[in-house]
């Protein structure tokens, strides 16, 4: 067992992978699933490959938008293990030691200008022991979809930045305390946000209640994120509007950070400049709406003419087009 | 709380649904000039009363079925979904005022008659400016030699023309108090309004020395309690109406073909419908929580009904606009049902306080909490 790897068996890690993944943001020590570098983060289209060589897989390629990879010891990697089957079928997941030779991490400086959340990760023939495959070869797509539902639920709490930042309750108490609520141009919007926030909280209880009554998790994860993400954006947007011109001074938040400022997401100013990411990450608003329209409401699905073509052939035709 | 509906709730909802699906026919309203009366407003009520719906909220010892507000929500949801024309809302409002404010004798003599469907009540609380919250009233009461009399108008009285008895908020000695008034006496004149929402009956009532019998409790005891329940009913009707609006929009988007495919294949339509689904989930959740909070007399009951009313009625208005947009020009015609939902949504939003008014109340609650 390599150094730095937690003192638990790989089997245990496999069993608890779902849980681990769901809590990865909280723990801050485990990178969330490594997203592929293609536009729109389409996992099915990813190009990073894992090639079996004896008792190892050799990983080559690149990942992007990996949360906290610069702090993580363990990564969850989705790689293409078979290029001769249609794109959804050839994926597998691995647990990887982020300190292995051949893995390098480069920070992405996002538009907030703060310390990075995200990274690019490069794999230059990095070796992964074969027993760190999660499930079987080819299970990658199914695992990723299951994890994505969990992640959407986890990131649909009532508040800014996927529920990790200030909430509408925080906003309204600050506005009441500061007298900002007396401005009629602010008050009705604040009330709308408070109402939405309470409903987003109730939606979470409702999902929990369903789980406790053994109803399976459905596409409601997409619904909750569709509702919660823009709600969170509007909270910190209103806080900025309350500030007017002075809100444009870097680092100048409308109110004192929540939770005593333990995390940068508690900062009202940071939360505002982070805002555009919230309807992009974990499924863009547009993709979520497609998911709801197609899987919940049963509207016609977008057709993908490449869904059944072996991945390797798709790459050839792409090359031809490029030439 | 447990958000999952119990089997009893689901059974109640399903039986209400199958009854209303069979009995409610909105087709007579799709002729210009029609009113709720043409859609079996009275006959529907007789059938509902046979099912015991007249006494849903009346305790068993007074001849009702003593159901909880969550039970009631199951039935009201279905009425909102089908726009069932009937004097249900008027009867509910009157019943609650009587339950909350009536003396033991008043309740003993009236409640069992209400529960049997024989006595129809209506609640005369709003004034000409639309305000139902007092403290004054356009109608004034005074003590006469043989009891109280009422003079002046009450406005926007739901189901007044169908009612045998009105429960009236009138001003006496500078404060508002509540009275029982026989609707069929000479001193009561009822004028049915040309109300845009033709699935309902809404009236102005004129009182001229109308004999009235005072309820025991004062306004502060009666109105906030009754108002919370009426707001729940309007929110529940709206949440379910919104769900029906969504269902109708989705069905149409699958059927209607343009540019060689169903319009529901276009993302411009899909995304509107996904948003409507989100709003529908939110509205239903807010309504269920308000029903639960009121049933349990939870400290959050009043703010929760304000939240449910503000959110659900506004979301219903938005959805019915989007619904007509998705249907296109056919949805703008009188022969389609779309406008019935559009008008019900609009009316529910304005009745007993607009969404913005209830948002203002939410802020007031929070200010009091913070103080």
CATH of the domain at A90: 2.40.110.10
> Is there a single domain that holds both residue A167 and residue A271?
yes
Structural contact between residues B230 and B305, judged by C-beta atoms closer than 8 angstroms: no
Q: How many distinct structural domains can be found in chain A?
A: 2
Q: With an 8 Å Cβ cutoff, is A220 touching chain B?
A: yes
Distance CA A104, CA A121 (A): 6
For residue A146, tell me if it sits in a domain: no
For residue A321, tell me if it sits in a domain: no
Q: With an 8 Å Cβ cutoff, is B1 touching chain A?
A: yes
CATH code of the domain in which B41 resides: 1.10.540.10
What does the pLDDT read at residue A309?
A: 82
For residue A69, tell me if it sits in a domain: yes
> Is there a single domain that holds both residue A186 and residue A256?
yes
What does the pLDDT read at residue A321?
A: 53
Reported confidence tier of residue A72, pLDDT bands at 50, 70, 90: confident
Q: Write out chain A residues lying below 8 Å of B363, CB-based.
A: 172, 181, 187, 190-191, 194
What does the pLDDT read at residue A134?
A: 86
> Is there a single domain that holds both residue B365 and residue B228?
yes
For residue B40, tell me if it sits in a domain: yes
What does the pLDDT read at residue A283?
A: 83
Domain encompassing residue B343: 221-370
CATH code of the domain in which A241 resides: 1.20.140.10
Residue of chain B with shortest Cα separation from A224: B278
For CA atoms B78, B80, B83, B87, the dihedral sign is positive
For residue B1, tell me if it sits in a domain: no
> Residues 284..343 of B with a Cβ closer than 8 Å to A: which?
285-286, 289, 307, 310-311
The secondary element (H helix, E strand) that includes residue A60 is strand A56-64
> Is there a single domain that holds both residue B271 and residue B354?
yes
Q: Is A104 helix (H, G, I), strand (E, B) or coil?
A: strand
Q: Which two tokens stand for residue B350?
A: 């304005």
Task: State yes or no: is A151 an active-site residue.
Answer: yes
> Is there a single domain that holds both residue A116 and residue A229?
no
Q: Write out chain A residues lying below 8 Å of B286, CB-based.
A: 195, 198-199, 202
Query: Which of B2, B253, B278 is the closest to A299 by Cβ?
Result: B253
pLDDT tens digits for range A146-177: 777 777 777 778 999 999 999 999 999 999 99
Domain boundary among B165, B189, B218: B218
Q: Which two tokens stand for residue A52?
A: 């079996």
Q: Is the pLDDT at A140 greater than 80, yes or no?
A: yes
ipTM: 0.95
Q: With an 8 Å Cβ cutoff, is A31 touching chain B?
A: no
Query: Which of B275, B281, B362 is the closest to A195 by Cβ?
Result: B362
Reported confidence tier of residue A39, pLDDT bands at 50, 70, 90: very low
For residue A305, tell me if it sits in a domain: no
What does the pLDDT read at residue A32?
A: 46
> Is there a single domain that holds both residue B361 and residue B227?
yes
Q: Which two tokens stand for residue B16?
A: 């209400």
Domain boundary among B93, B115, B137: B115
CB contact under 8 A, B359 and A212: no
Domain encompassing residue A214: 155-296
What does the pLDDT read at residue A319?
A: 59
pLDDT in tens, chain B (371 residues): 567 788 999 999 999 999 999 999 999 999 999 999 999 999 999 999 999 999 999 999 999 999 999 999 999 999 999 999 999 999 999 999 999 999 999 999 999 999 999 999 999 999 999 999 999 999 999 998 889 999 999 999 999 999 999 999 999 999 999 999 999 999 999 999 999 999 999 999 999 999 999 999 999 999 999 999 999 999 999 999 999 999 999 999 999 999 999 999 999 999 999 999 999 999 999 999 999 999 999 999 999 999 999 999 999 999 999 999 999 999 999 999 999 999 999 999 999 999 999 999 999 999 999 98
Query: Which of B273, B311, B370 is the closest to A195 by Cβ?
Result: B311
* Runs of H (alpha helix) within chain B: 7-23, 41-50, 69-82, 88-101, 104-115, 219-255, 267-295, 301-327, 338-350, 355-370
Q: With an 8 Å Cβ cutoff, is B370 touching chain A?
A: yes
Q: Write out chain A residues lying below 8 Å of B366, CB-based.
A: 172-173, 176, 194
Out of A38, A120, A137, A151, which one is annotated catalytic? A151
Domain boundary among B55, B88, B115: B115
For residue A161, tell me if it sits in a domain: yes
> Is there a single domain that holds both residue B231 and residue B279?
yes
CATH code of the domain in which B242 resides: 1.20.140.10
For residue B2, tell me if it sits in a domain: no
Distance CA A55, CA B285 (A): 52
> Is there a single domain that holds both residue B40 and residue B127?
no
Q: Which two tokens stand for residue A287?
A: 């993709």
Q: With an 8 Å Cβ cutoff, is B135 touching chain A?
A: no
Residue B323, min C-alpha distance to chain A (Å): 15
For residue B366, tell me if it sits in a domain: yes
> Is there a single domain that holds both residue B263 and residue B350?
yes
Distance CA B100, CA A304 (A): 62
Across chain A, what does the average pLDDT equal?
83
Structural contact between residues B212 and B147, judged by C-beta atoms closer than 8 angstroms: yes
Residue B366, min C-alpha distance to chain A (Å): 8
For residue B207, tell me if it sits in a domain: yes
What does the pLDDT read at residue A317?
A: 67
> Is there a single domain that holds both residue A123 and residue A195?
no
> Is there a single domain that holds both residue A244 and residue A123?
no
Residue of chain A with shortest Cα separation from B367: A176
All residues at 6 or more sequence positions from A76 whose CB lies less than 8 Å from its CB, including other chains: A17, A20, A21, A24, A30, A31, A32, A33, A34, A93, A94, A95, A96, A134, A147
The C-alpha R_g of chain A, in whole angstroms, comes to 21
For residue A259, tell me if it sits in a domain: yes
> Is there a single domain that holds both residue B363 and residue B231?
yes
Domain boundary among A141, A175, A209: A141
Q: Is the pLDDT at A22 greater than 80, yes or no?
A: no
CB contact under 8 A, B285 and A206: yes
Q: Is the pLDDT at A41 greater than 70, yes or no?
A: no
What does the pLDDT read at residue A109?
A: 95
Reported confidence tier of residue A110, pLDDT bands at 50, 70, 90: very high
Distance CA B169, CA B180 (A): 9
> Is there a single domain that holds both residue A161 and residue A185?
yes
> Is there a single domain that holds both residue B228 and residue B359?
yes
Residue of chain A with shortest Cα separation from B257: A300
What does the pLDDT read at residue A29?
A: 37
Residue with tokens 């002046």: B152
What does the pLDDT read at residue B87?
A: 98
CA distances, A242 to each of A162, A259, B164 (Å): 22, 21, 54
Q: With an 8 Å Cβ cutoff, is B359 touching chain A?
A: yes
> Is there a single domain that holds both residue B237 and residue B363?
yes
What does the pLDDT read at residue A47?
A: 80
> Is there a single domain that holds both residue B365 and residue B226?
yes
Q: Is the pLDDT at A117 greater than 50, yes or no?
A: yes
- Which range (A201-205, A311-315, B91-95, B333-337) has the least confidence? A311-315
Q: With an 8 Å Cβ cutoff, is B265 touching chain A?
A: yes
Q: How many distinct structural domains can be found in chain B?
A: 3
Q: Is the pLDDT at A234 greater than 60, yes or no?
A: yes
CB contact under 8 A, B362 and A194: yes
> Is there a single domain that holds both residue B364 and residue B230?
yes
Task: Say how many CB pairs under 8 Å bridge A and B.
Answer: 118
CB contact under 8 A, A293 and B282: no
CATH code of the domain in which B185 resides: 2.40.110.10
For residue A230, tell me if it sits in a domain: yes
Reported confidence tier of residue A213, pLDDT bands at 50, 70, 90: confident
> Is there a single domain that holds both residue A184 and residue A66?
no
Interface test with B, best of A170, A300, A302, A303 (most B CBs within 10 A): A300
A91 forms beta bridges with A80
């Amino acid at each position: 067992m390599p150094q730095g790897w937690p003192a638990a068996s790989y089997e245990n890690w496999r069993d608890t992978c779902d849980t681990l993944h769901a809590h990865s943001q909280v723990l801050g020590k485990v990178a969330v699933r490594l997203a592929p570098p293609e536009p729109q983060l389409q996992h099915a289209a990813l190009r990073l490959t894992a090639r079996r060589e004896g008792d190892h897989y050799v990983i080559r390629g690149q990942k992007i938008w990996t949360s906290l990879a610069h702090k993580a010891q363990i990564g969850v990697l989705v790689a293409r293990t078979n290029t001769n089957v249609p794109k959804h079928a050839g994926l597998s997941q691995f647990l990887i030691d982020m300190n292995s030779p051949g893995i390098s991490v480069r920070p992405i400086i996002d538009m907030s200008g703060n310390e990075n959340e995200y990274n690019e990760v490069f794999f230059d023939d990095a070796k992964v022991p074969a027993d760190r495959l999660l499930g079987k070869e080819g299970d990658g797509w199914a695992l990723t979809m299951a994890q994505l539902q969990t992640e959407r639920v986890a990131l649909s709490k009532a508040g800014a930045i996927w529920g990790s930042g200030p909430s509408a309750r925080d906003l309204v108490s600050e506005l009441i305390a500061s007298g900002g609520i007396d401005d009629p141009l602010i008050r009705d919007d604040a009330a709308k946000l408070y109402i939405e926030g309470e409903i987003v909280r109730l939606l979470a209880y409702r999902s929990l209640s369903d789980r406790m009554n053994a109803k399976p998790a459905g596409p409601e994860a997409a619904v909750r994120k569709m509702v919660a993400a823009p709600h969170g954006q509007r909270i910190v947007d209103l806080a900025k509007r309350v500030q007017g011109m002075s809100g444009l001074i870097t680092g100048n938040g409308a109110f004192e950070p929540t939770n005593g400022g333990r995390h940068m997401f508690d900062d009202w100013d940071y939360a505002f400049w982070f805002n555009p990411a919230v309807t992009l990450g974990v499924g863009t608003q547009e993709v979520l709406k497609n998911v709801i329209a197609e899987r919940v409401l049963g509207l016609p699905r977008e057709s993908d003419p490449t869904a059944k073509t072996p991945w390797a052939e798709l790459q050839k035709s792409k090359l031809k087009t490029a030439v | 709380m447990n958000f999952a509906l119990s089997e009893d709730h689901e059974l109640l909802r399903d039986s209400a649904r199958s009854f209303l699906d069979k009995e409610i026919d909105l087709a007579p309203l799709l002729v210009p000039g029609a009113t709720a009366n043409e859609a079996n407003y009275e006959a529907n009520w007789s059938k509902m009363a046979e099912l015991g719906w007249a006494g849903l909220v009346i305790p068993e010892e007074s001849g009702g079925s003593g159901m909880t507000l969550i039970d009631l929500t199951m039935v009201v949801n279905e009425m909102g979904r089908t726009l069932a024309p009937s004097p249900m809302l008027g009867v509910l409002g009157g019943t609650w005022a009587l339950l909350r404010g009536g003396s033991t004798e008043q309740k003993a003599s009236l409640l069992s008659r209400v529960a049997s469907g024989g006595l129809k009540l209506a609640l005369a609380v709003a004034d000409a400016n639309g305000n139902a919250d007092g403290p004054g009233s356009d109608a004034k009461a005074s003590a006469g030699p043989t009891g109280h009399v009422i003079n002046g108008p009450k406005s926007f009285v739901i189901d007044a023309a169908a009612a045998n008895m009105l429960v009236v908020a009138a001003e006496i000695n500078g404060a508002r108090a509540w009275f029982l008034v026989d609707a069929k006496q000479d001193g009561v004149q009822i004028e049915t309004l040309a109300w845009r929402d033709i699935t309902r009956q809404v009236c102005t009532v004129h009182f001229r020395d109308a004999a009235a019998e005072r309820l025991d409790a004062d306004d502060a005891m009666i109105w906030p309690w009754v108002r919370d329940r009426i707001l729940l009913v309007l929110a529940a009707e709206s949440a379910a109406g919104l769900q029906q609006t969504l269902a109708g929009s989705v069905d149409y988007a699958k059927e209607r073909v343009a540019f060689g495919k169903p319009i529901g294949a276009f993302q411009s339509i899909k995304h509107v419908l996904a948003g409507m689904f989100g709003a529908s989930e939110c509205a239903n959740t807010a309504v269920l929580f308000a029903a639960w909070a009121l049933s349990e007399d939870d400290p959050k009951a009043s703010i929760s009904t304000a939240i449910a009313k503000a959110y659900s009625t506004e979301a219903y208005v938005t959805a019915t606009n989007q619904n007509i947009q998705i249907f296109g020009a056919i949805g703008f015609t009188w022969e389609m049902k779309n406008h019935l939902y559009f008008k019900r949504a609009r009316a529910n939003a304005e009745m007993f306080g607009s969404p913005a008014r209830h948002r203002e109340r939410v802020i007031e609650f929070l200010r009091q909490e913070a103080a």
